[in-house]
């Protein structure tokens, strides 16, 4: 049986800020690319540019890891890969279950990046009896009636919810009751969880709405001045802007929850 549930990443005990934790996967992705090209060292400026942050922030983040680089040389790529992987808990195997094997769930099951980043899809679970036994990404789908046994047998502490919105909360509650303490939620709803359970929410529609907001801003900045320059935008654009503004606030408030009252900054997986 896997032992992922008995180990937790070291980041919280070492007091690394959540904002720094949010950037560690970005650094790791950039460093992995350098490692694959056999690049031995990298400057803070080069790595910051590859990760999309400024170099001062990168150096501050790495100071929490106890890594300061060498003047004139930079950072040792392989050592940083190990250091960040260790802090993120990726030096061990993390069994994951995906619940809801529709189009999105099947796409997640087929995603090859999990295994290379320390995550093993231990089981695929769906409520549809017709799906039971059907192989997806080489893994037979199991019925949701067996969810608790599947969690226990595989020592799962991380669950992925890809169900319709209405089913997400009941699935979440069953996962938590079975011992899952971290959930990645793709369902278009906010989950309520007890203290000690971490939820990361991924909502593609929110991201698209935010992009629509910025596109409208750019279009407005490029519009010529004239008698109608101050006229209100067309209804559709106004609606999109209002929705985007609302979702920006909602994203800040609800993307991460440790419990009913615990909010944390957003993190995007690498």
Structural domain boundaries of the chain? 4-87, 94-202, 204-222+231-270
C-alpha distances in Å from residue 196, one per residue of 97, 144, 179, 238, 260? 19, 24, 11, 40, 10
If one compares 84 and 69, the residue with the highest pLDDT of the two is 84
State in words which class domain 94-202 has.
alpha beta
If one compares 20 and 5, the residue with the highest pLDDT of the two is 20
pLDDT at site 71: 81
Check pLDDT > 50 for residue 244. Answer: no
Instruction: Name the 3-class secondary structure at 144.
Output: helix
Round to whole Å and give the CA distance between 14 and 6. Answer: 18
Check pLDDT > 70 for residue 223. Answer: no
Check pLDDT > 60 for residue 225. Answer: no
C-alpha distances in Å from residue 38, one per residue of 33, 77, 119? 9, 9, 24
pLDDT at site 170: 97
pLDDT at site 256: 46
* 4-87 against 94-202: fold identical: no
C-alpha distances in Å from residue 36, one per residue of 29, 39, 232? 11, 8, 52
CA dihedral of 195, 200, 205, 207, whole degrees rounded to 10: 120
Instruction: Cite the DSSP H helix spans in the chain.
Output: 18-36, 44-51, 55-64, 77-87, 103-109, 113-116, 147-154, 165-177, 204-221, 235-254
What number is the average pLDDT over the span 143-158? 96
Fold of 4-87: Arc Repressor Mutant, subunit A (1.10.10)
pLDDT at site 267: 38
Check pLDDT > 80 for residue 139. Answer: yes
Round to whole Å and give the CA distance between 239 and 102. Answer: 30
pLDDT bucket at 124, cuts 50 / 70 / 90:
very high
CB 72 within 8 A of CB 134: no
């Amino acid at each position: 049986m896997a032992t992922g549930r008995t180990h937790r990443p070291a980041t919280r005990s070492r007091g690394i800020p959540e904002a720094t934790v949010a950037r560690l996967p970005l650094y790791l992705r950039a460093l992995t690319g350098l490692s694959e090209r056999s690049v031995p060292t990298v400057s803070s400026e080069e790595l910051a540019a590859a990760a999309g942050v400024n170099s001062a922030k990168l150096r501050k983040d790495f100071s929490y890891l106890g890594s300061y680089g060498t003047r004139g040389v930079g950072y040792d790529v392989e050592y940083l890969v190990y250091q960040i992987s260790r802090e993120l808990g990726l030096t061990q195997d993390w069994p994951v279950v995906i619940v809801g094997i529709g189009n999105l769930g099947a796409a997640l099951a087929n995603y090859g990046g999990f295994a290379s980043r320390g995550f093993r899809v231990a089981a695929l679970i769906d409520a549809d009896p017709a799906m039971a036994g059907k192989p997806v990404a080489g893994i037979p789908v199991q019925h949701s009636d067996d969810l608790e046994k599947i969690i226990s047998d595989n020592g799962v502490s991380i669950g992925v919810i890809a169900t319709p919105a209405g089913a997400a909360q009941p699935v979440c509650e069953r996962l938590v009751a079975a011992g899952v303490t971290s959930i990645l939620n793709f369902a278009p709803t906010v989950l309520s969880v007890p203290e000690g359970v971490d939820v990361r929410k991924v909502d593609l529609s929110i991201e698209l709405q935010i992009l629509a907001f910025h596109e409208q801003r750019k279009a407005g900045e490029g519009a010529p001045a004239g008698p109608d320059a101050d006229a209100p935008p067309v209804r559709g654009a106004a609606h999109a802007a209002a929705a985007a503004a609302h979702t920006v606030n909602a994203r800040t408030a609800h993307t991460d929850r440790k419990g009913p009252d615990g909010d944390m900054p957003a993190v995007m997986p690498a």
